Amino acid sequence: MASRPGTPPRRTGGRRADRSGFGDERTVEDTVVKLYRCATVVKGGRRFSFGALVVVGDRQGQVGQGYGKANEVPMAVEKGIKLARRVMFRVPIRGTTIPHRVMGKFGASKIILIPAAPGTGVIASAAPRAVLELAGVKDVLTKCYGSTSPKNLVKATINGLKALRTRALVESLRGVALDLPPEPEPVKTTISAAPDVAVALVGAEGGNAAGHAEPAAAGRTLVEPDAPGLSTGVAETPHDAE
């Protein structure tokens, strides 16, 4: 069919080609959380269809979830992966955990995400674990309330991750500087020698002539220093003074 004179040529699937290659340039992993089988009864018997709940992520702060349906399992998984890649979003991560405590909700399901110390790991069930691990969160505590449906829990976890805010983002959105203590930095272990504290032990006859430390004997009381840096001495009892 010839186009009208002066009319620009019609594009044939250029945008669709760009969408098909979305995310191919970076390493994106995918995992199937659960497969669903649906059967409908027709005149000749049963007709089956399948649904796939899929989560994708690059383990560096980007994650997304999708649900695909088809008459075959591979086609359903492929549809879910394409949809999940299309809705990927950035998750703010602080070190190996999340910036703050947050609650995600979807339907009758609620999930609480709590920051954890390094080395804790991802303490979660199968559905939230898939989302958190592919998002790049390595240390987090979770608690689920209400429905434990994988669909609801995945979407509730996504809802909670989208509600996370960093301090820099909050300050930029409000246009103010928050009056909060500074964020903790990684602790650097350094070994420093403690200052030597001279210990003077005074004996009954004026102390040890050799200058060596003499163990405290009966009738002698150790005196604690009043300030740091003072030497520790021994007070004489009345019978020693005689």
What does CATH list as the number for 102-174? 3.30.230.10
Does 160 have pLDDT greater than 60? Answer: yes
For residues 108-128, give the mean pLDDT. 95
In sequence order, the β-bridge partners of residue 13 are: none
What is the signed CA dihedral for 106, 111, 117, 122, rounded to 10 degrees? -80
More confident residue, 97 or 216: 97
Least confident of 17-21, 25-29, 141-145: 17-21
Does 222 have pLDDT greater than 60? Answer: no
pLDDT at position 66: 96
Does 167 have pLDDT greater than 70? Answer: yes
More confident residue, 101 or 169: 101
78, 66 in Cβ contact below 8 A? no
pLDDT at position 169: 84
Tokens of 238: 């009345």
pTM of the model: 0.64
Does 233 have pLDDT greater than 90? Answer: no
Q: Does domain 26-90 have CATH number 3.90.1570.10?
A: no
Does 220 have pLDDT greater than 70? Answer: no
More confident residue, 83 or 24: 83
The rounded mean pLDDT for the chain is 76
First to last CA, the chain: 126
Domain boundaries, the chain: 26-90, 102-174, 197-242
pLDDT in tens, 65-89: 999 999 999 999 999 999 999 999 9
For residues 158-172, give the mean pLDDT. 90
Quick one: pLDDT band at residue 5, thresholds 50, 70, 90?
low
For residues 82-111, give the mean pLDDT. 94
pLDDT in tens, 188-208: 445 454 445 444 444 444 444
pLDDT at position 6: 52
**Residue (of 111, 117, 113, 112) closest to 95 by Cα position:** 117
